[in-house]
């Protein structure tokens, strides 16, 4: 037998299949997905690789084929079906096969099992009592007395409990075991991340929820595993609906994967899932230790898990019989990987669902243009939830023009209206959330006389002002001292403009000394658990105002929040990015959705310098449909996704001249490829951030209605750059339908 092997190096040049013979001794062990040792090259030095196929034929001269040297059993073998998925990902997103294989492997190494030792009596109670009374006669046998007494009280005790509560050491237990008085047992325990359940409401489904569930179940039970988009306003009960759908699927003997955007959501969502599925739920996220992650996957393989919840990597959970994949908040940018292969969880989930015969459910209050468009083409079925589940009404939204505010002499970051409303909330003992698009004490620092802006010497971005007069680069961490005079012209009118979370916190403390204020941004959530702590304490009413960045807008449900202030709403409109209107609409809608989740009506104030922008206007009117129509028309006119497909080819190198030349030649090559005029070519351009950590960057875009045409171009470019020496020092990445850019 022969094995097709992909060797484990990141070099694009070696990214092809090599054949080896499977020696007699390894016939039983080597499977698709196994990691093996193989002799390689002239010197036959041993390297490792993955088996991607096994055949009994070969195209090579059989005597020239080398033998596999050994199998790496400590490494985890990849599930066979995951190899096929990796091949699909390589084809669709580019990059090496090895990179794709590693992406679909949730756990790479075997971790040591964790064990727990416990002790119980090995003799009858009478014998134990007799022995204990005997031992009491001796002064130096106190520890043994304590041990026997404890085990008479409790049938079984862990070594840890015996040590912590009874001061009995393992050596004492060992001695008792040698005497035949005590039995010691060792049990494998699974490292479970800490979870706790929260009483989920088991009130009857709303009629909208029931209708959506019925559509899904009718298809599912008929054996039609389709794809759905739940477009449900914030608070319409989407999560509740996911729970019901998953429960049905599990009842029928299948398993489900539940994707949530990022760690941010685990606190509330996981608790709801845990109360429903208990020990049959597994969770995976980046905060788990390797051991914990390994154990979660072991439980999956042992068939002990029905539901896996986690961020995009949870997609690669090797379930036996997958019935459903749910993607909550499907519009979130964290579903797109920013490393090769740059896949989108929505597309990969679709592919997995197709091959496994599973259903796919996406949900959002502000669906991506991609998902909503797919409903129009019939790829997904649209399910709508148009009312809040808890009878609450959508909040009233007001837009405040900050230019007017300045004209009337208000120089504060907070408009008169917002200040007034906060004061009212404090008096009524209701809570306020203030959301800002930025972190840090203030944004970039510039000179109002000559226009000088402080920039990072390593990255092409402006520095942000922090406390203690420090200027910090958010890309590489570079820091320098802020000067009181402009280094260019000596003017003293140099300073920061845009406000950040810290500045607002200080302002609030001054304006409302009695208010209890919490702040959530990257600085206050660095420590493990800090995030949950802040949310929990706000949820328990320990603060009146919560200030935060993007982090606070997602999915948290606080009935006592009746006011949401959105500061610098238009910040996300700047930056040259074809998705900026969409992102702004989503942010504003989600943030506004935090208000009035309980009985009391909510109010939202959006502060902006561009009140006329359609994404701001339509978010204030809660009008997704109109927003979608206008934005889609724009994408269509410009030929941007999802109207057409876009491939970004990112080139980076520490040598600028080399990069310049490489980008130019690559553009010429793509032109040559395009004889039939299947696509448009843009660039090479300098991206928004032209340099990161002293590495220069360029980008070329290819646009086409046909995804397949872009895949074809990608394959040719990969071949061209891998044989051409000029590209040795240029790193090339492909990004299909990028999350940002242009
Ligand atoms: P979404 O995920 O759409 O934001 P959730 O599922 O979190 O909505 O529901 C919002 C709130 O409504 C939650 O407090 C939830 O407990 C409640 N809720 C959901 N479904 C119902 C229902 N059928 N009856 C009463 N309350 C419900
Ligand atoms: Zn100046
Ligand atoms: Zn920098």
Q: In angstroms, what CA-CA distances link 589 with 3, 584, 605, 610, 611?
A: 53, 8, 12, 17, 15
- Of 533 and 166, which is predicted with more confidence? 166
Taking only the tens place, the pLDDT of each residue in 102-156 is 898 876 666 666 778 889 999 999 999 999 888 888 888 889 999 999 999 888 8
- Give the residue whose CA is nearest to atom 11 of ligand 1: 235
Q: Ranked by mean pLDDT, which of 25-34, 285-294, 467-476 comes out on top?
A: 25-34
pLDDT band at 327 (very low <50, low <70, confident <90, very high): very high
- Give the residue whose CA is nearest to atom 24 of ligand 1: 203
How confident is the model at residue 733, as a pLDDT? 94
- Give the residue whose CA is nearest to atom 21 of ligand 1: 389
Average of per-residue pLDDT across 650-662:
95
How confident is the model at residue 337, as a pLDDT? 92
**Cα 354 from Cα 322, distance rounded (Å):** 11
Least confident of 170-174, 338-342, 565-569, 697-701: 565-569
How confident is the model at residue 442, as a pLDDT? 43
Residue with tokens 């240029």: 730
Residue with tokens 């009994």: 56
Share of the chain above pLDDT 70, in %: 90
**Cα 45 from Cα 40, distance rounded (Å):** 6
How confident is the model at residue 271, as a pLDDT? 78
Residue closest to 284 by CA, chosen among 155, 191, 147 = 191
**Cα 247 from Cα 220, distance rounded (Å):** 13
Residue closest to 392 by CA, chosen among 216, 592, 609 = 592
Q: How far is the CA of 444 from the centre of ligand 3 (A)?
A: 13
How confident is the model at residue 249, as a pLDDT? 97
Average of per-residue pLDDT across 16-21:
88
Q: How far is the CA of 466 from the centre of ligand 3 (A)?
A: 15
157 contacts 119 by C-beta, under 8 angstroms: yes
Residue 489 CB neighbours (<10 A): 13
The atom of ligand 1 lying closest to the CA of 209 is 23
Report strand pairing: 645-653 vs 731-736: antiparallel
588 contacts 566 by C-beta, under 8 angstroms: yes
Taking only the tens place, the pLDDT of each residue in 482-510 is 888 888 888 887 776 556 788 889 889 99
193, two tokens: 């991340």
- Give the residue whose CA is nearest to atom 27 of ligand 1: 389
Taking only the tens place, the pLDDT of each residue in 511-526 is 999 999 999 877 777 7
22 contacts 64 by C-beta, under 8 angstroms: no
Residue 467 CB neighbours (<10 A): 12
Residue closest to 342 by CA, chosen among 89, 4, 655 = 89
Average of per-residue pLDDT across 411-418:
88
How confident is the model at residue 189, as a pLDDT? 66
pLDDT over 50 (residue 571): yes
Average of per-residue pLDDT across 689-697:
87
Q: How far is CA 464 from the centre of its chain?
A: 26
719 contacts 727 by C-beta, under 8 angstroms: no
pLDDT over 50 (residue 354): yes
How confident is the model at residue 444, as a pLDDT? 66
- Of 611 and 553, which is predicted with more confidence? 611
pLDDT band at 474 (very low <50, low <70, confident <90, very high): low
Average of per-residue pLDDT across 20-41:
88
Q: In angstroms, what CA-CA distances link 231 with 242, 245, 330?
A: 13, 16, 10
How confident is the model at residue 600, as a pLDDT? 80
pLDDT band at 439 (very low <50, low <70, confident <90, very high): very low
Q: How far is the CA of 460 from the centre of ligand 3 (A)?
A: 7
**Cα 553 from Cα 555, distance rounded (Å):** 7
Average of per-residue pLDDT across 176-181:
92
Average of per-residue pLDDT across 438-448:
57
The atom of ligand 1 lying closest to the CA of 240 is 6
Average of per-residue pLDDT across 232-238:
89
Share of the chain above pLDDT 90, in %: 44
How confident is the model at residue 481, as a pLDDT? 87
Cis before 341? omega within 30: yes
Q: How far is the CA of 672 from the centre of ligand 3 (A)?
A: 37
> CA-CA-CA-CA torsion for 316, 317, 321, 324, nearest 10 degrees?
-70
The atom of ligand 1 lying closest to the CA of 241 is 6
**Cα 457 from Cα 493, distance rounded (Å):** 23
The atom of ligand 1 lying closest to the CA of 236 is 3
Choose the residue to mutate in 234, 237, 365, 559 for probing ligand 1, maximizing ligand atoms within 8 Å of C-beta.
Answer: 237
Average of per-residue pLDDT across 346-362:
96
How confident is the model at residue 433, as a pLDDT? 93
Report helix angle 707-723 to 656-673, nearest 10: 130
pLDDT band at 440 (very low <50, low <70, confident <90, very high): very low
Residue 179 CB neighbours (<10 A): 12
- Of 28 and 570, which is predicted with more confidence? 28
Average pLDDT across the chain, whole number: 86
Residue closest to 235 by CA, chosen among 348, 389, 127, 380 = 389
Rounded to the nearest 5 degrees, what angle is found at the Cα of 154, between the Cα atoms of 149 and 158?
A: 100
129 contacts 202 by C-beta, under 8 angstroms: no
27, two tokens: 């016939």
What is the number of helices (H) and of strands (E) in the chain? 21, 31
Q: How far is the CA of 487 from the centre of ligand 2 (A)?
A: 7
Residues enclosing ligand 1, CB less than 6 A?
Answer: 201, 203, 205-206, 209, 232, 234-240, 389-390, 557
Q: How far is the CA of 493 from the centre of ligand 2 (A)?
A: 8
Q: How far apart are the first and last CA of the chain?
A: 50
> With helix as H, strand as E and coil as C, how does 423-468 read?
HHHHHHCCEEEEEECCCCCEEEEEECCCCCECECCCCCCECEECHH
pLDDT band at 441 (very low <50, low <70, confident <90, very high): very low
Residues at Cβ < 5 Å from ligand 3 ion: 456, 458-459, 473, 475-476, 478
Q: How far is the CA of 502 from the centre of ligand 2 (A)?
A: 26
> CA-CA-CA-CA torsion for 148, 154, 158, 161, nearest 10 degrees?
-80
Residue closest to 14 by CA, chosen among 60, 50, 68, 65 = 50
- Give the residue whose CA is nearest to atom 15 of ligand 1: 237
pLDDT band at 443 (very low <50, low <70, confident <90, very high): low
Report helix angle 345-356 to 80-93, nearest 10: 140
How confident is the model at residue 259, as a pLDDT? 95
């Amino acid at each position: 037998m022969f094995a097709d092997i992909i060797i484990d190096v990141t070099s694009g040049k070696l990214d092809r299949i090599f054949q080896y013979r499977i020696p007699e001794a390894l016939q039983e062990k080597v499977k698709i997905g196994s990691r093996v040792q193989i002799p390689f090259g002239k010197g036959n030095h041993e390297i490792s690789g993955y088996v991607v196929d096994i055949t009994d034929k070969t195209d090579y001269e059989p005597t020239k084929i080398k033998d596999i040297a050994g199998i790496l059993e400590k490494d985890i073998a990849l599930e066979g079906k995951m190899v096929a998925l990796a091949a699909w990902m390589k084809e669709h997103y580019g990059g090496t096969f090895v990179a794709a294989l590693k992406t679909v492997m949730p756990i790479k190494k075997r971790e040591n099992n964790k064990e727990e030792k416990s002790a119980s009596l090995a003799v009858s109670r009478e014998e134990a009592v007799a022995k204990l009374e005997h031992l009491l006669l001796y002064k130096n046998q106190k520890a043994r007395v304590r041990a026997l007494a404890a085990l008479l009280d409790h049938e079984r005790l862990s070594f840890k409990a015996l040590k912590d509560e009874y001061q009995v050491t393992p050596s004492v237990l060992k001695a008792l075991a040698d005497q035949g008085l005590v039995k010691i047992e060792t049990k494998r325990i699974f490292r479970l991340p800490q979870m706790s359940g929260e009483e989920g409401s088991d009130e009857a489904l709303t009629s909208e929820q029931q209708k959506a569930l019925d559509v899904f179940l009718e298809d599912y039970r008929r054996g039609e595993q389709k794809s759905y988009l739940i477009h449900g306003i914030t608070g319409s009960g989407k999560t509740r609906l996911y729970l019901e759908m998953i429960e049905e699927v599990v009842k029928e003997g299948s398993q489900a994967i539940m994707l949530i955007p990022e760690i941010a959501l685990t606190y509330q969502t996981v608790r709801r899932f845990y109360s429903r599925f208990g020990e049959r739920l597994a969770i995976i996220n980046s905060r788990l230790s390797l051991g914990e992650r390994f154990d979660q996957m072991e439980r999956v393989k042992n068939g002990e898990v029905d539901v896996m919840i986690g961020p995009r990597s949870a997609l690669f959970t090797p379930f036996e019989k997958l019935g459903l994949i749910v993607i909550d908040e499907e519009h979130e940018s964290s579903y797109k990987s920013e490393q090769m292969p740059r896949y989108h969880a929505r597309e990969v989930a679709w592919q997995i669902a197709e091959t496994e015969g599973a259903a796919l459910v996406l949900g959002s209050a502000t669906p991506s243009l991609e998902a909503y468009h797919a409903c129009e083409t019939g790829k997904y079925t649209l399910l709508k939830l148009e009312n809040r589940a808890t009878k609450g009404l959508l909040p009233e939204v007001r837009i405040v023009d900050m230019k007017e505010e300045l004209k009337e002499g208000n120089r504060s970051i907070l408009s008169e209206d917002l200040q007034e409303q906060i004061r009212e909330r404090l008096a009524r003992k209701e809570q306020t959330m203030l959301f800002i698009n930025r972190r840090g004490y203030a944004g970039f620092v510039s000179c109002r006389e000559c226009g000088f802006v402080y920039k990072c010497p390593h990255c092409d971005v402006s520095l942000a002002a922090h406390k203690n007069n420090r200027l910090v680069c958010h890309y590489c961490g570079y820091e320098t001292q802020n000067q009181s005079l402009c280094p260019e012209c000596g003017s003293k009118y140099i300073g920061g403009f845009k406000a950040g979370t810290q500045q607002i916190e200080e302002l609030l403390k001054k304006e409302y000394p009695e208010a209890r204020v919490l702040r959530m941004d990257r600085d206050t959530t660095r420590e493990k658990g800090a995030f949950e702590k802040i949310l929990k304490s706000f949820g328990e009413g320990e603060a009146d105002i919560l200030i935060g960045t993007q982090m606070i807008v997602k999915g948290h449900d606080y009935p006592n929040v009746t006011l949401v202030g959105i500061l610098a709403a238009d910040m996300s409109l700047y930056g040259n990015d074809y998705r900026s209107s969409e992102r702004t609409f989503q942010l504003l809608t989600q943030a506004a959705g935090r208000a009035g989740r309980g009985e009391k009506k909510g109010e939202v104030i959006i502060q902006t310098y561009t009140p006329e922008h359609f994404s701001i206007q339509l978010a204030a009117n809660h009008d997704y449909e109109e927003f979608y129509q206008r934005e889609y028309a724009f994408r269509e006119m410009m030929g941007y996704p999802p109207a057409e497909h876009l491939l970004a080819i990112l080139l980076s190198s520490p040598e600028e001249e080399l990069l310049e030349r490489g980008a130019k030649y690559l553009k010429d090559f793509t032109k040559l490829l395009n004889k039939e005029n299947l696509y448009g070519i843009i660039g090479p351009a300098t991206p928004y951030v032209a340099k990161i950590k002293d590495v220069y960057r360029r980008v070329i875009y290819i646009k086409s209605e046909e995804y397949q045409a872009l895949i074809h171009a990608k394959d040719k470019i990969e071949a061209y750059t891998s044989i051409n020496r000029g590209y040795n020092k240029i790193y090339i990445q492909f990004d299909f339908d990028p999350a940002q850019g242009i």
